[in-house]
C-alpha cells in the first residue's frame, strides 16, 4: 500500500489524516496516511527515512515549509515563487515540491463561497509565509489589484517587488489603508491568534458585498472574523475550506485523481 503522511511539529492536532482517508475511500485509492512528528532540525532525516520505508508523499506543516522546499530536487512554479512547500511527492529522482495553499484558498473562495477574484480589489494582510504561499494562484485569477499591508512595512514592500511581474501589486502601511476599501480582504497574519491583541487595521476596509477571509480556522469565529464583522464586513469565512481544498490539490498531485470535497465539510464542521 502506498504511504503518505503529514509531517510537522506539533502534528497531533492535524485534521489531514481524516481528510485524506475520506478522499481515498471516496476515490477507491489504496493508500495509508498517518501523522509524522519530526524534531526541529531533523526534517531532512525524517523525510529520507520515510522515503526509504516506501513513503510516496507528504503534506508539510509548521514549522517545516521552508525545510521542505530545501530538500526538494525540483519544484513547481508556485512553490518556487512562494519559496515554501506544503506538499512533497517522491519521484524517481527525489522529492518534487509543490505549494497547494494558494490553489486551496482560490478554490474555496471562487467555487465554494462564490467569491470571484477576477476584476476585484484584493487586500492581503500580512507578508509572511502564509501571504507568499497564495499570491501566484491569486494573480492567476486576474484581480484588478492586490494590496499588501504588513506591520513591518519593509516585508510587504519586498514581497510586492518579488511578485511585481505577476500582476498589479502595491504595498501600503496600515495608516495608508485609511479611506480605502476592498472587495476581498484576506487575513494572512497570525495577529490575534493568541486572542490578546487589538487588531491594527483601520475601519472602512469593507464595501457592500465585500468578503473577509481568514486563512486560519477554528471552531468558534476567529479574532479577525469578529473584527471584520464588527467593522462592517457583510460576508466572511474562516480557512476550513482552504484546508480541505489544499488537501484535495495535494491528493490530485499524488494520485492523479481529483476528489470531491463537499462531503468533507460536514465531517469536520457539522454546522457549516
Ligand atoms: P506565516 O508563515 O504564518 O505567515 P510568519 O511568516 O511568521 O508566519 O508571518 C506572520 C505574519 O503575521 C507577519 O506578516 C507578521 O507581521 P510582521 O512581518 O510585522 O512580523 C504578522 N503579525 C503577527 N502578529 C501580528 C500583530 N500582532 N499585528 C500585526 N501583524 C502581525
Tens digit of each residue's pLDDT (9 = 90 or more) over 94-123:
999 999 999 999 999 999 999 999 999 999
Q: What is the pLDDT along the chain (272 residues), one digit of tens a residue?
A: 999 999 999 999 999 999 999 999 999 999 999 999 999 999 999 999 999 999 999 999 999 999 999 999 999 999 999 999 999 999 999 999 999 999 999 999 999 999 999 999 999 999 999 999 999 999 999 999 999 999 999 999 999 999 999 999 999 999 999 999 999 999 999 998 877 678 999 999 999 999 999 999 998 999 999 999 999 999 999 999 999 999 999 999 999 999 999 999 999 985 64
Q: What is the pLDDT of residue 197?
A: 77
In sign, the C-alpha dihedral spanning 255, 5, 64, 212 is: positive
Mutate to test the pocket of ligand 1, among 105, 130, 151 (most ligand atoms within 8 A of CB): 151
The burial of 41, by beta-carbon neighbours within 10 Å (0-12 exposed, 13-18 middle, 19 or more buried), is given as: exposed
Q: What is the pLDDT of residue 148?
A: 98
Which domains occur in the chain, in start order? 2-99+241-268 (3.40.50.10860), 116-238 (3.40.50.720)
Q: What is the pLDDT of residue 271?
A: 60
- Cβ of 132: how many Cβ atoms within 10 Å? 24
Say how many Å lie between the CA of residue 151 and the centre of ligand 1.
7
DSSP codes, 201-222:
PPS--EEEEEEEEESS--SSPP
Whether residue 250 contacts residue 59, with contact meaning beta carbons closer than 8 Å, is answered with yes
Q: Which residues are catalytic?
A: 65
Cβ(152) to ligand 1 under 6 A? yes
Amino acid at each position: 500500500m502506498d504511504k503518505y503522511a503529514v509531517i510537522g511539529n506539533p502534528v497531533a492536532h492535524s485534521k489531514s489524516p481524516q481528510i485524506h482517508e475520506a478522499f481515498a475511500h471516496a476515490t477507491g485509492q489504496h493508500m495509508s496516511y498517518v501523522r509524522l512528528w519530526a524534531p526541529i532540525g531533523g526534517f531532512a532525516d525524517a523525510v529520507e527515512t520515510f522515503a526509504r520505508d516506501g513513503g510516496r508523499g507528504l503534506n508539510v506543516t509548521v514549522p517545516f515549509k521552508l525545510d521542505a522546499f530545501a530538500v526538494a530536487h525540483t519544484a513547481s512554479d508556485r512553490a518556487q515563487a512562494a519559496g515554501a512547500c506544503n506538499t512533497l511527492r517522491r519521484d524517481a529522482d527525489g522529492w518534487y515540491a509543490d505549494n497547494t495553499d494558494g490553489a486551496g484558498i482560490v478554490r474555496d473562495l471562487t467555487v465554494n463561497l462564490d467569491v470571484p477574484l477576477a476584476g476585484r480589489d484584493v487586500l492581503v494582510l500580512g507578508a509572511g509565509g502564509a501571504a507568499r504561499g497564495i499570491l501566484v494562484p491569486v494573480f492567476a485569477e486576474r484581480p484588478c489589484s492586490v494590496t499588501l499591508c504588513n506591520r513591518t512595512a519593509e516585508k510587504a514592500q519586498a514581497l510586492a517587488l518579488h511578485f511585481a511581474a505577476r500582476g498589479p501589486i502595491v504595498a501600503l502601511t496600515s495608516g495608508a489603508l485609511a479611506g480605502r476599501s476592498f472587495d476581498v480582504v484576506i487575513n494572512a497574519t497570525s495577529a490575534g491568534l493568541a486572542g490578546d491583541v487589538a487588531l491594527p487595521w483601520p475601519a472602512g476596509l469593507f464595501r457592500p458585498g465585500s468578503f473577509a477571509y481568514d486563512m486560519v480556522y477554528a471552531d468558534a469565529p476567529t479574532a479577525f472574523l469578529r473584527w471584520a464583522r464588527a467593522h462592517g464586513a457583510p460576508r466572511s469565512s474562516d480557512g476550513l475550506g482552504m484546508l480541505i481544498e489544499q488537501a484535495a490539490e495535494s491528493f490530485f498531485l499524488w494520485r492523479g485523481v481529483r476528489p470531491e470535497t463537499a462531503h468533507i465539510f460536514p465531517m469536520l464542521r457539522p454546522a457549516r
